[in-house]
Amino acid sequence: MPPAVEVIDVARRFGTVQALAGVDLTVAEGEFFGLLGPNGAGKTTLISILAGLTRADRGTARILGHDVVTDFRVARRSLGVVPQELVFDPFFSVRETLEFQAGYFGLRRQGAWIDEILHHLDLTGKANANMRSLSGGMKRRVLVGQALVHKPPVIVLDEPTAGVDVELRQSLWRFIRKLNRDGHTIILTTHYLEEAEALCGRIAMLKDGRVVALDSTHNLLSRFAGLTCRVASEQMPAAWEARIVRREGANFYVGLANYAELETLLAALRADGIAIDELALEETDLEQVFLRIMKGAEAA
Protein backbone atom coordinates (compact mmCIF):
# COMPACT_ATOMS: atom_id res chain seq x y z
CA MET A 1 0.00 0.00 0.00
CA PRO A 2 1.66 3.31 -1.05
CA PRO A 3 1.71 6.18 1.46
CA ALA A 4 -0.96 8.86 1.12
CA VAL A 5 1.74 11.47 0.50
CA GLU A 6 5.37 10.92 -0.27
CA VAL A 7 7.79 13.81 -0.71
CA ILE A 8 11.40 13.03 -1.60
CA ASP A 9 14.11 15.70 -1.67
CA VAL A 10 11.74 18.39 -2.98
CA ALA A 11 13.31 21.79 -3.51
CA ARG A 12 12.00 25.01 -4.96
CA ARG A 13 13.54 28.46 -5.29
CA PHE A 14 11.71 31.72 -6.12
CA GLY A 15 14.32 34.23 -7.23
CA THR A 16 16.70 34.63 -4.31
CA VAL A 17 14.40 32.88 -1.84
CA GLN A 18 14.92 29.15 -1.26
CA ALA A 19 11.29 28.29 -0.40
CA LEU A 20 12.01 24.56 -0.04
CA ALA A 21 15.52 23.19 0.40
CA GLY A 22 15.19 19.43 0.03
CA VAL A 23 12.16 18.24 1.97
CA ASP A 24 11.54 14.57 2.72
CA LEU A 25 8.19 13.58 4.16
CA THR A 26 5.89 10.58 4.24
CA VAL A 27 2.28 10.60 5.42
CA ALA A 28 0.56 7.24 5.84
CA GLU A 29 -3.01 6.60 4.74
CA GLY A 30 -5.56 7.56 7.37
CA GLU A 31 -3.24 9.89 9.29
CA PHE A 32 -4.21 13.30 10.67
CA PHE A 33 -0.95 15.09 9.94
CA GLY A 34 0.10 18.60 10.93
CA LEU A 35 2.41 20.81 8.90
CA LEU A 36 3.58 23.67 11.07
CA GLY A 37 6.01 26.50 10.65
CA PRO A 38 6.29 30.27 10.77
CA ASN A 39 5.26 32.44 7.81
CA GLY A 40 7.60 31.81 4.89
CA ALA A 41 8.65 28.38 6.16
CA GLY A 42 7.58 26.73 2.89
CA LYS A 43 4.29 25.10 3.94
CA THR A 44 2.16 26.61 1.18
CA THR A 45 4.87 25.99 -1.43
CA LEU A 46 4.93 22.32 -0.43
CA ILE A 47 1.14 22.12 -0.66
CA SER A 48 1.21 23.88 -4.04
CA ILE A 49 3.69 21.31 -5.34
CA LEU A 50 1.46 18.47 -4.16
CA ALA A 51 -1.53 20.14 -5.84
CA GLY A 52 0.28 20.79 -9.12
CA LEU A 53 0.05 24.57 -8.74
CA THR A 54 3.83 24.90 -8.47
CA ARG A 55 6.56 22.79 -10.01
CA ALA A 56 9.50 21.63 -7.93
CA ASP A 57 13.04 22.42 -9.11
CA ARG A 58 14.04 18.93 -8.03
CA GLY A 59 12.69 15.95 -6.15
CA THR A 60 9.56 13.84 -6.36
CA ALA A 61 6.09 14.19 -4.87
CA ARG A 62 3.47 11.46 -4.99
CA ILE A 63 -0.14 11.17 -3.86
CA LEU A 64 -1.08 7.54 -3.13
CA GLY A 65 1.85 6.48 -5.29
CA HIS A 66 0.92 8.72 -8.24
CA ASP A 67 3.53 11.27 -9.31
CA VAL A 68 2.05 14.79 -9.24
CA VAL A 69 3.67 15.66 -12.60
CA THR A 70 3.81 12.50 -14.72
CA ASP A 71 0.58 10.98 -13.38
CA PHE A 72 -1.17 14.26 -12.57
CA ARG A 73 -4.71 13.17 -13.46
CA VAL A 74 -4.90 10.40 -10.83
CA ALA A 75 -2.79 12.38 -8.33
CA ARG A 76 -5.09 15.42 -8.51
CA ARG A 77 -8.22 13.27 -8.39
CA SER A 78 -6.88 11.79 -5.13
CA LEU A 79 -6.28 15.18 -3.54
CA GLY A 80 -8.62 17.86 -2.17
CA VAL A 81 -7.11 21.22 -1.25
CA VAL A 82 -8.63 24.00 0.83
CA PRO A 83 -6.58 27.03 -0.22
CA GLN A 84 -5.40 29.64 2.23
CA GLU A 85 -6.75 32.61 0.27
CA LEU A 86 -10.47 33.37 0.50
CA VAL A 87 -11.27 33.09 -3.21
CA PHE A 88 -14.60 32.63 -4.97
CA ASP A 89 -16.32 33.14 -8.33
CA PRO A 90 -18.78 36.03 -7.96
CA PHE A 91 -20.95 34.89 -10.87
CA PHE A 92 -22.36 31.79 -9.21
CA SER A 93 -24.37 30.46 -6.28
CA VAL A 94 -23.02 28.09 -3.62
CA ARG A 95 -24.66 25.07 -5.24
CA GLU A 96 -23.43 26.01 -8.73
CA THR A 97 -19.92 26.47 -7.33
CA LEU A 98 -19.93 22.96 -5.86
CA GLU A 99 -21.53 21.39 -8.96
CA PHE A 100 -18.93 22.98 -11.23
CA GLN A 101 -16.10 21.82 -9.00
CA ALA A 102 -17.43 18.24 -9.09
CA GLY A 103 -17.84 18.52 -12.85
CA TYR A 104 -14.22 19.60 -13.36
CA PHE A 105 -13.27 16.24 -11.87
CA GLY A 106 -15.57 14.49 -14.35
CA LEU A 107 -18.30 13.88 -11.76
CA ARG A 108 -21.93 14.51 -12.64
CA ARG A 109 -25.17 14.14 -10.71
CA GLN A 110 -23.58 14.66 -7.29
CA GLY A 111 -26.74 16.25 -5.84
CA ALA A 112 -27.05 13.94 -2.81
CA TRP A 113 -23.37 14.30 -1.86
CA ILE A 114 -23.51 18.07 -2.36
CA ASP A 115 -26.59 18.21 -0.10
CA GLU A 116 -24.65 16.25 2.54
CA ILE A 117 -21.67 18.60 2.29
CA LEU A 118 -23.96 21.63 2.56
CA HIS A 119 -25.61 20.08 5.63
CA HIS A 120 -22.32 19.31 7.39
CA LEU A 121 -20.98 22.77 6.65
CA ASP A 122 -24.22 24.40 7.77
CA LEU A 123 -24.76 25.93 4.33
CA THR A 124 -28.07 24.31 3.33
CA GLY A 125 -29.94 27.59 3.78
CA LYS A 126 -27.43 29.37 1.55
CA ALA A 127 -27.33 26.79 -1.26
CA ASN A 128 -28.88 29.15 -3.79
CA ALA A 129 -27.30 32.35 -2.50
CA ASN A 130 -24.73 34.11 -4.67
CA MET A 131 -21.17 33.70 -3.39
CA ARG A 132 -20.81 37.49 -3.11
CA SER A 133 -23.56 37.65 -0.49
CA LEU A 134 -21.81 35.26 1.93
CA SER A 135 -19.83 36.27 5.00
CA GLY A 136 -16.10 35.48 5.14
CA GLY A 137 -16.72 32.44 7.35
CA MET A 138 -19.33 31.07 4.95
CA LYS A 139 -17.04 31.56 1.97
CA ARG A 140 -14.36 29.64 3.90
CA ARG A 141 -16.85 26.79 4.38
CA VAL A 142 -17.65 26.72 0.67
CA LEU A 143 -13.90 26.35 0.01
CA VAL A 144 -13.91 23.32 2.29
CA GLY A 145 -16.91 21.95 0.38
CA GLN A 146 -15.16 22.47 -2.95
CA ALA A 147 -12.17 20.48 -1.69
CA LEU A 148 -14.43 17.58 -0.67
CA VAL A 149 -16.85 17.50 -3.58
CA HIS A 150 -14.89 14.94 -5.61
CA LYS A 151 -14.48 12.69 -2.54
CA PRO A 152 -10.69 12.76 -2.43
CA PRO A 153 -8.95 10.21 -0.16
CA VAL A 154 -6.32 12.82 0.79
CA ILE A 155 -7.41 16.26 2.00
CA VAL A 156 -5.07 19.21 2.55
CA LEU A 157 -6.32 22.12 4.62
CA ASP A 158 -4.12 25.22 4.38
CA GLU A 159 -5.09 27.47 7.32
CA PRO A 160 -8.78 26.49 7.08
CA THR A 161 -9.87 28.27 10.26
CA ALA A 162 -8.17 31.62 9.68
CA GLY A 163 -10.76 34.30 10.41
CA VAL A 164 -13.44 31.76 11.34
CA ASP A 165 -15.43 32.21 14.57
CA VAL A 166 -15.12 29.71 17.43
CA GLU A 167 -18.49 28.01 16.91
CA LEU A 168 -17.87 27.44 13.23
CA ARG A 169 -14.34 26.27 13.91
CA GLN A 170 -15.69 23.61 16.27
CA SER A 171 -18.29 22.38 13.77
CA LEU A 172 -15.70 22.35 11.00
CA TRP A 173 -13.34 20.21 13.07
CA ARG A 174 -16.15 17.80 13.95
CA PHE A 175 -16.74 17.32 10.23
CA ILE A 176 -13.04 16.94 9.42
CA ARG A 177 -12.61 14.44 12.28
CA LYS A 178 -15.53 12.45 10.88
CA LEU A 179 -13.87 12.40 7.45
CA ASN A 180 -10.64 11.21 9.10
CA ARG A 181 -12.55 8.45 10.95
CA ASP A 182 -14.09 7.46 7.60
CA GLY A 183 -10.57 6.83 6.29
CA HIS A 184 -9.54 10.12 4.72
CA THR A 185 -5.97 11.25 5.23
CA ILE A 186 -5.89 14.82 6.52
CA ILE A 187 -2.96 17.21 6.23
CA LEU A 188 -3.41 20.42 8.15
CA THR A 189 -1.47 23.64 8.31
CA THR A 190 -2.56 26.09 10.98
CA HIS A 191 -1.29 28.90 13.15
CA TYR A 192 -3.64 27.74 15.93
CA LEU A 193 -1.21 25.32 17.57
CA GLU A 194 -3.77 24.14 20.12
CA GLU A 195 -5.81 22.87 17.16
CA ALA A 196 -2.84 20.94 15.80
CA GLU A 197 -2.12 19.52 19.25
CA ALA A 198 -5.71 18.36 19.67
CA LEU A 199 -6.17 16.95 16.15
CA CYS A 200 -2.89 15.77 14.67
CA GLY A 201 -1.34 12.40 15.39
CA ARG A 202 1.94 13.41 13.79
CA ILE A 203 3.52 16.75 13.08
CA ALA A 204 6.25 18.09 10.82
CA MET A 205 7.74 21.48 11.58
CA LEU A 206 9.24 23.49 8.73
CA LYS A 207 11.62 26.40 8.93
CA ASP A 208 13.38 28.11 6.02
CA GLY A 209 12.28 25.36 3.66
CA ARG A 210 13.59 22.46 5.77
CA VAL A 211 11.93 19.95 8.06
CA VAL A 212 13.35 20.73 11.52
CA ALA A 213 11.14 18.28 13.47
CA LEU A 214 9.05 15.29 12.43
CA ASP A 215 7.48 13.07 15.05
CA SER A 216 4.23 12.05 16.70
CA THR A 217 2.55 14.83 18.63
CA HIS A 218 2.98 12.77 21.81
CA ASN A 219 6.72 12.35 21.27
CA LEU A 220 7.19 16.03 20.48
CA LEU A 221 5.44 17.01 23.69
CA SER A 222 7.39 14.39 25.70
CA ARG A 223 10.69 15.52 24.21
CA PHE A 224 10.18 18.91 25.77
CA ALA A 225 8.21 17.66 28.77
CA GLY A 226 8.29 20.07 31.64
CA LEU A 227 6.96 23.42 32.67
CA THR A 228 7.02 26.95 31.44
CA CYS A 229 7.31 29.65 34.07
CA ARG A 230 6.10 33.15 33.24
CA VAL A 231 7.99 35.72 35.28
CA ALA A 232 7.01 39.38 35.12
CA SER A 233 10.09 41.34 36.20
CA GLU A 234 12.50 43.98 34.98
CA GLN A 235 15.26 41.49 34.13
CA MET A 236 16.38 37.89 34.57
CA PRO A 237 19.53 36.52 36.20
CA ALA A 238 22.33 36.18 33.62
CA ALA A 239 22.66 32.45 34.29
CA TRP A 240 19.05 31.94 33.18
CA GLU A 241 19.24 33.87 29.91
CA ALA A 242 19.68 30.68 27.88
CA ARG A 243 16.53 29.20 29.42
CA ILE A 244 14.25 32.00 28.22
CA VAL A 245 11.89 30.54 25.64
CA ARG A 246 10.43 33.90 24.65
CA ARG A 247 9.85 37.39 25.93
CA GLU A 248 6.66 39.45 25.68
CA GLY A 249 7.15 42.94 27.16
CA ALA A 250 8.02 42.55 30.82
CA ASN A 251 7.09 38.83 30.75
CA PHE A 252 9.90 36.27 30.52
CA TYR A 253 8.88 32.68 29.64
CA VAL A 254 11.42 30.30 31.13
CA GLY A 255 11.58 26.55 30.46
CA LEU A 256 11.84 24.35 33.57
CA ALA A 257 12.55 20.60 33.61
CA ASN A 258 10.48 20.05 36.81
CA TYR A 259 9.00 21.74 39.87
CA ALA A 260 12.32 21.45 41.78
CA GLU A 261 13.91 23.84 39.27
CA LEU A 262 11.39 26.48 40.21
CA GLU A 263 13.08 26.80 43.62
CA THR A 264 16.49 27.21 41.90
CA LEU A 265 15.07 29.96 39.68
CA LEU A 266 13.49 31.79 42.62
CA ALA A 267 16.79 31.55 44.55
CA ALA A 268 18.68 33.06 41.57
CA LEU A 269 16.17 35.92 41.33
CA ARG A 270 16.53 36.60 45.11
CA ALA A 271 20.32 36.42 44.91
CA ASP A 272 20.35 39.07 42.15
CA GLY A 273 17.82 41.21 44.01
CA ILE A 274 15.32 41.09 41.16
CA ALA A 275 11.74 41.83 42.22
CA ILE A 276 8.99 39.57 40.83
CA ASP A 277 5.81 41.41 39.83
CA GLU A 278 3.93 38.29 38.78
CA LEU A 279 4.63 34.58 38.38
CA ALA A 280 2.66 31.74 36.72
CA LEU A 281 3.36 28.11 35.82
CA GLU A 282 1.99 26.12 32.91
CA GLU A 283 2.51 22.66 31.42
CA THR A 284 4.46 22.55 28.15
CA ASP A 285 2.11 22.64 25.17
CA LEU A 286 2.73 22.43 21.45
CA GLU A 287 3.24 26.16 21.25
CA GLN A 288 6.16 25.94 23.67
CA VAL A 289 7.57 22.97 21.76
CA PHE A 290 7.18 24.87 18.49
CA LEU A 291 8.97 27.92 19.86
CA ARG A 292 11.81 25.86 21.31
CA ILE A 293 12.29 23.94 18.06
CA MET A 294 12.20 27.11 15.99
CA LYS A 295 14.68 28.73 18.37
CA GLY A 296 16.91 25.66 18.13
CA ALA A 297 16.72 25.70 14.33
CA GLU A 298 17.67 29.37 14.37
CA ALA A 299 20.68 28.67 16.58
CA ALA A 300 21.72 25.81 14.27
Partner 1 sequence: MKAEVAGHGWVTLLYKELLRFWKVSFQTVAAPILTALLYLLIFSHVLEGRVSVYDGRVSYTAFLVPGLVMMSVLQNAFANSSSSLIQSKITGNLIFVLLPPLSATDLFAAYVLGAMVRGIVVGAGVFAVTPLFAPSLLAMPHPFWALAFALAGSAILAMLGLLAGIWADKFDQLAAFQNFIIVPLTFLSGVFYSIHSLPPFWQALSHFNPFFYMIDGFRYGFFGVSDVAPGVSLGIVAAAAGVLAALTLTLLARGWKLRA
CA distances from 217 to 47, 225, 294 (A): 21, 12, 16
Which residue pairs from 274-277 have beta carbons closer than 8 angstroms and sit at least 24 positions apart in sequence? 274/233, 274/234, 274/235, 274/236, 274/237, 275/233, 275/234, 276/231, 276/232, 276/233, 277/232, 277/233, 277/250
Residue 147 or 188 having the CB closest to partner 1: 147
According to CB under 8 A, which one of 29, 116, 122, 151 is a site residue for partner 1?
151
Q: Helix, strand, coil proportions of the chain in percent (round to 5)?
A: 40, 30, 30
- What is the nearest approach in angstroms of partner 1 to the Cβ of residue 293? 28
Of 150, 210, 199, 168, the residue nearest 18 (C-alpha) = 210
CA dist., res. 265 & res. 199, Å (int): 34
Residue 74 or 232 having the CB closest to partner 1: 74
According to CB under 8 A, which one of 8, 22, 65, 92 is a site residue for partner 1?
92
- What is the nearest approach in angstroms of partner 1 to the Cβ of residue 254? 42
Q: Is 249 in the site for partner 1 (CB under 8 A)?
A: no
According to CB under 8 A, which one of 9, 17, 53, 191 is a site residue for partner 1?
53
**Pattern of binders to partner 1 over 107-136, x per CB under 8 A?**
xxxx--x-----------------------
Beta carbons of 47 and 189 less than 8 angstroms apart: yes
CA dist., res. 14 & res. 31, Å (int): 31
Q: Is 81 in the site for partner 1 (CB under 8 A)?
A: yes
Sole window of 95-103, 116-124, 196-204, 214-222 interacting with partner 1 (rule: CB under 8 A): 95-103
According to CB under 8 A, which one of 100, 225, 257, 270 is a site residue for partner 1?
100
Residue 72 or 215 having the CB closest to partner 1: 72
Residue 92 or 173 having the CB closest to partner 1: 92
According to CB under 8 A, which one of 4, 48, 205, 229 is a site residue for partner 1?
48
Of 187, 95, 186, 189, the residue nearest 149 (C-alpha) = 95
CA dist., res. 205 & res. 41, Å (int): 9
Q: Is 259 in the site for partner 1 (CB under 8 A)?
A: no
Query: Site residues (CB under 8 A) for partner 1?
Result: 14, 48, 51-55, 72-77, 79, 81, 83, 85, 87-92, 96, 100-110, 113, 146, 150-151, 153, 182-184
